[in-house]
């Protein structure tokens, strides 16, 4: 499923992650992995729930997308739960983070599916409950003008930061991944700009030993 970076490359990726709280992992999914997970996501999307609301605990930032929570994914997709638990993947994440990385216990939040599929669909500003988000791209607009860009501020966790200087905007392609220090880094996904565009991701949440338990009610509102 995965095409892992070499140990030497991992060292430079680790420095990048430590400096920016973000590191791009282009082509992290092998072509087989992308095909397998893409088929799983298409199947699971039919069970997803359309969400259109503002998140009260995140400054009323908008959510417009179809989601499926981890508990539903666990029932339906051994391929996704198997990848979440993959030892080599966990080793990569521990190496990039520079300390041990462990699974999130909460079955809802540990792995989720987010599908942006209508013009204006967006995942508004927030921080996550757990320290690390590994996001895997199964579909994405072919160019940055289509939207669906990750925006984050590498130095700030307050949500106003995303309108301040220093905010980064990144485009990703199907098969790409990224790792984000997501509890301390304000982030959001920019709106899709026109009909026909789609952006589908799996978000795998990880934590550090001894740190379990959600800090906000946001996941229960988006994924229950
Ligand atoms: O879709 C993305 O790139 C970010 C997803 C995200 O922030 C989340 O699921 O918490
Ligand atoms: Fe997030």
pLDDT in 10s for each residue of the chain, 224 residues: 999 999 999 999 999 999 999 999 999 999 999 999 999 999 999 999 999 999 999 999 999 999 999 999 999 999 999 999 999 999 999 999 999 999 999 999 999 999 999 999 999 999 999 999 999 999 999 999 999 999 999 999 999 999 999 999 999 999 999 999 999 999 999 999 999 999 999 999 999 999 999 889 999 999 98
HSE of 104 in the Cβ direction (CA atoms, 13 Å)?
A: 26
| Residue 114, ligand 1, Cβ within 6 A | yes
What stretches of 22-131 adopt beta strand conformation (E)?
22-25, 49-55, 61-68, 102-103, 111-116, 122-126
What secondary structure letter does DSSP report for 2? B
Which residues lie below 8 Å from residue 12, measured CB to CB, with a gap of 6+? none
Measure the N-to-C terminal CA separation of the chain; round to a whole number of Å.
28
DSSP string, 21-35: SEEEETT-B-HHHHH
pLDDT of residue 224: 86
pLDDT of residue 110: 97
| Residue 201, ligand 1, Cβ within 6 A | yes
| Residue 122, ligand 1, Cβ within 6 A | no
Which residues have C-beta under 5 Å from ligand 2, the single-atom ion?
128, 182
Nearest-CA residue for atom 5 of ligand 1: 203
Q: Domains of the chain by range and CATH?
A: 7-223 (2.60.120.620)
Tell which one of 182, 183, 192, 202 to mutate to probe ligand 1, the residue whose CB is within 8 A of the most ligand atoms. 182
pLDDT of residue 86: 98
Task: Name the percent of the chain in helix, strand, coil, to the closest 5.
Answer: 30, 30, 40
| Residue 187, ligand 1, Cβ within 6 A | yes
Q: Which of 219, 211, 215 is nearest to 109 (CA)?
A: 219
Q: What are phi and psi of 49, to 5 degrees?
A: -120, 130
Tell me the pairing of strands 150-152 and 111-116. Answer: unpaired
């Amino acid at each position: 499923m995965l095409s892992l970076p070499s140990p030497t490359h991992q060292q430079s990726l680790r420095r990048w992650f430590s400096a920016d709280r973000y590191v791009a992992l282009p082509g992290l999914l092998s072509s087989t992995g992308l095909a397998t997970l893409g088929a799983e996501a298409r199947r699971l999307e039919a069970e997803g729930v359309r969400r259109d609301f503002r998140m009260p605990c995140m400054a009323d930032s908008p959510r417009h997308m179809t989601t499926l929570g981890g508990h539903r994914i666990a029932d339906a997709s051994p391929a996704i739960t198997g990848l979440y638990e993959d030892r080599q993947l966990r080793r990569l994440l521990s190496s990039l983070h520079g300390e041990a990385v462990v699974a999130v216990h909460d079955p809802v939040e540990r792995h989720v599916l987010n599908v942006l599929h209508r013009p204006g669909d967006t995942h508004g500003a927030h921080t996550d409950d757990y320290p690390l988000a590994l996001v895997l791209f199964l579909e994405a607009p072919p160019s940055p003008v289509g939207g669906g860009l990750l925006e984050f501020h590498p130095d700030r966790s307050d949500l106003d930061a995303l309108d301040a200087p220093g905010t980064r905007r990144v485009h990703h392609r199907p098969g790409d991944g990224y790792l984000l220090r997501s509890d301390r880094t304000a982030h959001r996904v920019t709106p899709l700009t026109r009909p026909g565009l789609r952006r589908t991701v799996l978000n795998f949440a990880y934590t550090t030993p001894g740190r379990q338990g959600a800090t906000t009610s946001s996941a229960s509102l988006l994924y229950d």
